[in-house]
Amino acid sequence: MHYLVTGGAGYIGSHICLELKARSHEVTVLDDFSSGHRWAVAGLEVIEADLRDLEGIRPALAGRRFDGVFHLAAKSLVGESAQKPLYYYQNNVSGTANLITVALEEGWRDCVFSSTAAVYGNPLTPLIAETHPLNPINVYGQTKRVMEELLAAVHAQGDLNAACLRYFNAAGASPEDQRGEWHEPETHLIPNILRGAAGDDVALTLYGDDYPTPDGTCIRDYVHVLDLADAHVRAMELLHRAGGFHQLNLGNGQGYSVKEVLAACERAVGASITHTIGPRRPGDPARLVAEAQLAEEVLGWTPSRGLQAIVESAWAWEQHRRQLKHALD
Ligand SMILES: NC(=O)c1ccc[n+]([C@@H]2O[C@H](COP(=O)([O-])OP(=O)(O)OC[C@H]3O[C@@H](n4cnc5c(N)ncnc54)[C@H](O)[C@@H]3O)[C@@H](O)[C@H]2O)c1
């Protein structure tokens, strides 16, 4: 098979490319490198283009035969989305409309889409099932909800099959394949803890230790990025086999507290990690954990790597990332 991966130069997209190549598929990446990395697409065919530009992507993609599209390209910083709502709607929603316009023109029928737990907003139940109401509390989550609606509407016309995969927290890396997380700014907990442990000037604050959770810190649902990549390939195979429109959580169904994540990082690093306890951040629910049953039923997928494996891979990657940064500077 030959697949198009939008956002393939990014963190999760580059791991999906790894997974596809490991299964002997052909891969073409479309990316504007606004947050992606050139080293992450080494050896792959790359179309450098911005999805917001329909007249730019149309000639670049015309006449290409792809068996399916993995659509990851998006902006995903919650704070930035509040400051730049139009940019987020243009990039995420218009970008998706443009991609699907070309997909329909070219006859590519199957699309696996990166959605997010941010479509749910504040949880009303301890585990968040796919049937939970969609009440996103930030612009980023709103754009993802609209992107799902767009795909559903096109599917209803009979032209497209789609799987919207709602990730909770992607984490971990593939240091043996020189792939891992590198966002600037980095807003995710695990890479920030590890950057600080490796010597960066990162003041680590745990935001609140008085939540109604066993150790008082927030609980989040982390899945290793290679497990996510595996789920994407399974979702694409489902679309090839059975078509349809699917909305599936990708989570581990248990969650880990901030203190548990910190302890796992300390074990990986082999040292204690300096931190302070700060006040709660507004808008941070105590617990965001997926009901993960449906993905198991529909895709035969469950995450195979736990927290310690996630953190150890991220720590090994952090050593590599620092060397890479040194070489690129
Ligand atoms: N990282 C997570 O924990 C997480 C959780 C839930 C959902 N997601 C979603 O997964 C996807 C990938 O996340 P990531 O962490 O790998 O992000 P990332 O920023 O590393 O990757 C996004 C990629 O898309 C590219 N891109 C963005 N806008 C583009 C455009 N207009 N045209 C072409 N390319 C464009 C960027 O250059 C980058 O390579 C995103 O859609 C994100 O919303 C991520």
Q: Please give the Cα distance from 156 to 73 (Å, whole number).
A: 23
Band the pLDDT of 126: cuts 50, 70, 90: very high
- E-state strands within 212-299: 219-220, 222-224, 245-250, 256-257, 276-278, 287-288
pLDDT tens profile 201-214: 888 999 999 999 99
Ligand 1 centroid to Cα of residue 293, in Å, is 25
Each domain of the chain, given as residue ranges in start order, spans: 2-171+223-250, 175-220+253-289+304-328
Ligand 1 atom 42: the closest Cα is on which residue? 76
Residue 202, pLDDT score: 84
Q: Which CATH superfamily, name and number, covers 175-220+253-289+304-328? A: UDP-galactose 4-epimerase, domain 1 (3.90.25.10)
**Would you say the C-alpha torsion 212, 217, 221, 227 has a positive or negative sign?**
negative
Pick from 109, 106, 35: nearest CA to 76: 35
Average pLDDT, the chain: 96
The verdict on pTM exceeding 0.85 is yes
Average pLDDT, stretch 162-187?
Answer: 96
* Residue 325: pLDDT over 90: yes
User: Does residue 282 carry a pLDDT above 90?
Assistant: no
Alpha-carbon distances of 9 from 18, 26, 204, 224, rounded to whole Å: 11, 16, 28, 18
In angstroms, rounded to a whole number, what is the distance separating the alpha carbons of residues 70 and 114? 8
Q: Are 148 and 115 in contact (CB under 8 A)?
A: yes
21 pLDDT above the threshold of 90: yes
Q: Quick one: tokens of 88?
A: 């987020």
pLDDT at 139: 96
Q: Please state, in angstroms and rounded to a whole number, the distance separating the CA atoms of residues 70 and 6.
A: 6
- Report the percentage of the chain scoring pLDDT > 70: 100
Ligand 1 site-directed mutation target among 16, 32, 76, most atoms within 8 Å of CB: 76
**pLDDT tier for residue 172 given thresholds of 50, 70 and 90:** very high
Instruction: Quick: pLDDT tens for 30-88.
Output: 999 999 999 999 999 999 999 999 999 999 999 999 999 999 999 999 999 999 999 99
**Is-catalytic flag, 120?**
no
- pLDDT of 149 over the 90 cut: yes
Residue nearest to atom 29 of ligand 1 (CA): 73
258 pocket-lining for ligand 1 (C-beta < 6 Å): no
Cis peptide before 85 (omega within 30 of 0): no
User: Does residue 190 have a pLDDT over 90?
Assistant: yes
Which pLDDT value is given to residue 85? 97
Question: What letter would DSSP give residue 279?
Answer: P
Could you say which architecture CATH assigns to the domain 2-171+223-250?
3-Layer(aba) Sandwich (3.40)
Question: Residue 256: which H helix or E strand, with range?
Answer: strand 256-257
Overall size of the chain counted in residues: 329
